[in-house]
Structure 1
Amino acid sequence: MSEKRQRVFSGIQPSGNLTIGNYLGALKNWVAIQEENENFFCIVDLHALTVPQDPKVLSEKIREVAAIYLAVGLDPAHCTIFRQSKVSGHAELAWLLNCVARFGELSRMTQFKDKTVRGGADSASAGLFTYPVLMAADILLYNANLVPVGDDQRQHLELTRTLARRFNHLYGETFVVPEGMILESGARVMGLDDPTVKMSKSSKSPGHYVAILDDPDVIRKKIRRAKTDSGTEVTATPDKPAITNLLDIYSATTGRSVPELESEYAGRGYGDLKKGLAEAIVETLAPIRERALALLDDPAELDRLLDAGAERAGAVASEALGTAKAKMGLG
């Protein structure tokens, strides 16, 4: 008898433009593991509402993310792909977990502190403060065993594990306590204009990132303008964060090691490195872009696939939610 497949949950917000960082750090790896596990890959549109959104743009971005999920190779035969807001259990379980979570542990979330540096905590939405609880609900609603996470989400996963254990202690065994799924090829891609910060799809500066749907000539222009370090030697060293970032992107895009790339570009300078990197990115993203744009030409079909995914997800979610409600006396 074959071992039972592990259940995996992950998702991306439909805000901003999905970048090569999202592809190399998450999407590419989801595709690699999809046949081995039972997967729930969500478009977390409720999370996007923690900051103001243009409703028309948000609606377009939801379909865009769905198209990219499919274009990179996620297969509905192996994955349940759906919109978070179409499964009401996410919001309902989040409220139950809000009543188990503690104010102190939410106030220690570093991402909330980071995102309120400019405007201050008093002007932030309550949703931004409590969204780690919604993230916990996303995971626990499917009793996921594994959650692909990057460094910036480890604290939120630990909160999820804490809430699962606390709920189980208070009300009896209910939720699986999930484990982080650290993917070996999960690249951490930094900003092209600032290699000290992670590449963000929500950056206001287009030169900060390469978007998955960028035109090839736009990609070449962005890489050509990417920040470099002093000197001319193409090496990945602590005193060269910009060149190290470009080499890391090159390596993750092509599968070639950084030392191999350093050897190839020895004595050739930053210009040649950027030309080679740009062409490698174009070669990787161009077919994905073409497939995604074709899918976006048929929004009705995208909506049909998302609705079918939501129906499957809802059937699974209703079981965990029903159990949790019953344990709390709401059954």
Structure 2
Amino acid sequence: MIRRIPVSKTIATGQRRLYSSVKPSDKGTVQTVDYQSNMDIPPNSTMFSLIQPTNRFHIGNYLGTIKIWRDLANNPNVPASGSKLIFGLADLHALTSPKDPKQFKNARLEAVASIIASGIDPKQAILFSQSAIPEHCELYWLLCCLTGMGQLNRMTQWKAKSQVSGSTETSVFEPEVLKKAYAGVFMYPVLQAADILLYRSTHVPVGDDQTQHLELTRTICESFNKTYKNYNFPQPKTILAPTKKVLSLRDPTKKMSKSDPDQNSCIYITEDAKTIQKKIRKAVTDSIDGGYYFDPVNRPGVSNLLNVVSGLQNCHVDEIVKDINDVKKLQNHKELKDYVSEAIIEGLKSCKTTFAQLMEDKSYLEAVIKEGNDQAREIASKNMKQIKTAVGLN
């Protein structure tokens, strides 16, 4: 057994948490529920999600993925329903772009430290490494044999990652696209489907940029169930992050990214107060002072800052707008940026200290992952035996 290191609770409990649960039958209709008290979690559910281990997490990773994990892990209704939480590192997915081996190993440890520092107790959830479970790749191949090239060609993320036009008419079969697109990036959603289905996941928390992949997962799931009628995967539901995609502070037309050459565009969850204040002061806004409102089209910079505060404070962006205009009565961008900086510093205040402590004890992090790998492998191997029997590979 591994010893416990106290984890941070970076945002006070008891606040309202709004999440959207999207069912396959909804056909795009989003149902918003009060997650903390009313979210319908059927008994013996399995909630599953992975994140790529790219060093420290930035605030977009936190609000889009990790914060939902923490809220699920801290929700007393989850263990009471007999449900499982399975979270981990998508380190196979991360290799769609080659990594320096030594740096990659350290990045994986930093990712584990970031998860725990964000408030996720490894005693409340299985934390594992995707690459340690060979059944992911076994199921991936079986699902590849049931997935149409046309279905994959319609996915938009491979186009973005391959730096080709995001138009729905862009095809992987075009000569210019073939020069840029790698098979791993194109086939990525099938491995993602295998990750989810391997654990018979019933709920998958994701950011809005992954909803298309979840729809494909449900399509692949249905195809497998129709083809092999003696084994049925449950249709996984989407738990959609309430926070909109967090954008670059320096260029709010782009998603916040660690790989951005301008590191002032990105706030990491382990940064100190002075660095956060400096980066927010340099954030792009607009020329309109006062009368702040959420308008991502006409005021993308301001709206991005409002979106971040909304996510950290667990409330609708309209409440932030009301607080800024009617309560605080902020008059200019300096006051707005001071307000945003304070909210971020308060929301992330304990992450930095806990992260530093964890990185000083790498044997603890390795023990957490080893125990999680053992737990995940036990589930995966049992399910994979049944799947292989269903397709005639027993």
Q: TM-score range by the shorter chain?
A: over 0.9
Q: CA deviation at 1:292?
A: 1.1
Alignment of 1:289-300 (within 5 A): 289-300=352-363
The Cα of 1:302 is off from its aligned counterpart by 0.5
The residue that corresponds to 1:14 in the other structure is 53
Q: Find out whether 1:24 has 2:63 as its counterpart.
A: yes
Which structure: greater helix fraction?
1
- SS of aligned partner of 2:260: coil
Deviation at 1:234, TM superposition (A): 4.6
Q: Residues 133-154 of structure 1, C-alpha deviation per residue, up to 9 Å, x if partnerless?
A: 1100000010000011222111
Residue 90 of structure 2 aligns with which residue? 44
> Structure 1: 5+ residue runs without aligned partners?
none
Distance 2:294 2:339 in 1: 20
* 1:304 equivalent in alignment to 2:367: yes
Q: Larger deviation: 26-35 or 87-96?
A: 26-35
Partner of 2:184: 127
Instruction: Report what 2:232 is aligned to.
Output: 174
Give the aligned partner of residue 108 of structure 2: 62
Which residue pairs with 1:251 in the alignment?
310
- Any conservation in 2 of the 1:234–1:265 contact (CA below 8 Å)? no
Q: Does 1:116 align with 2:155?
A: no
Q: Deviations over 1:168-202 (max 9, x none)?
A: 1111133111111124x444322211223332333
Partner of 1:263: 326
Distance 1:277 1:48 in 2: 31
The alignment's C-alpha RMSD in Å is 1.9
State the identity %. 38
- Equivalence for 2:10: none
Other structure's SS at 2:238 match: strand
- Residue in 2 aligned with 1:240? 299
Give the TM-score normalised by the residue count of structure 2. Answer: 0.79
- Equivalent residue for 1:200? 257
- The question of whether the paired residues in 2 share the 8 Å contact of 1:13 and 1:43 is answered with yes
C-alpha deviation, 1:305, in angstroms? 0.8
Q: Bigger shift: 193-202 or 148-157?
A: 193-202
SS at match of 2:372: helix
Q: 1:221 to 1:190 in 2, by over 3 A?
A: same
Count, aligned residues = 329
Aligned equivalents of 1:255 and 1:179: distance in 2? Answer: 22
Gaps of 5+ in 2: 1-40, 165-175
SS at match of 1:9: strand
How far off its partner does 1:250 sit? 1.9
Cα distance in 1 between the residues matched to 2:222 and 2:142: 14
**Pairing of 1:274-285 with structure 2 (within 5 A):** 274-285=337-348
Letter in structure 2 aligned against 1:320: N
Name which of structure 1's ranges 82-91 and 27-36 shifts more when overlaid on structure 2: 27-36
> 1:148·1:180 contact (CA, 8 Å) conserved in 2?
yes
- Change in 2 beyond 3 A, CA 1:189/1:263: farther
Q: Which residue identity lines up with residue 86 of structure 1 in the other structure?
A: A
Taking structure 1 as the reference length, what is the TM-score of the superposition? Answer: 0.93
Is structure 2 residue 281 aligned with structure 1 residue 224? yes
CA deviation profile, 1:223-259 (whole Å, cap 9, x unmatched): 1100011221251243222111112212322346222
Counterpart amino acid of residue 61 in structure 1: A
Task: Indicate conservation of the 8 Å contact 2:158/2:181, yes or no.
Answer: no
